[in-house]
Amino acid sequence: MEKNTANVVSCEVESCKYHGFDCKCHADGITVESPAALRKGETFCGTFAPRSAFGEK
C-alpha cells in the first residue's frame, strides 16, 4: 500500500511549539486524530504541544 504524505502542512495555531511564523507546521510528522469522525470539526491535531513560553520558536 502506498503512503501519502503532505510536504507542507499549514498551521494557524500560534500557541503550538511546532507552529512556524510562516504559518507552516514544523513537526517531523503530524497525527490527525478521532477515528470515528464524520466531519472536519470532529478531528484534531494529536501532534499539538504548547510552547513552553508564548513566542518561543
Q: Residue 8: what residue type?
A: V
Q: DSSP label at 2?
A: P
Distance CA 57, CA 18 (A): 8
pLDDT tens digits for range 7-55: 689 999 999 999 998 999 999 999 999 999 999 999 999 999 999 865 5
The predicted pLDDT at position 17 comes to 94
Give me the helices (H) in 1-57, please.
Answer: none
- Strand, helix or coil for residue 41: helix
Give me the phi and psi of 9, to 5 degrees please. -120, 120
Rg (CA), the chain: 13
Instruction: Name the one residue in this structure whose C-alpha cell is 510562516.
Output: 22
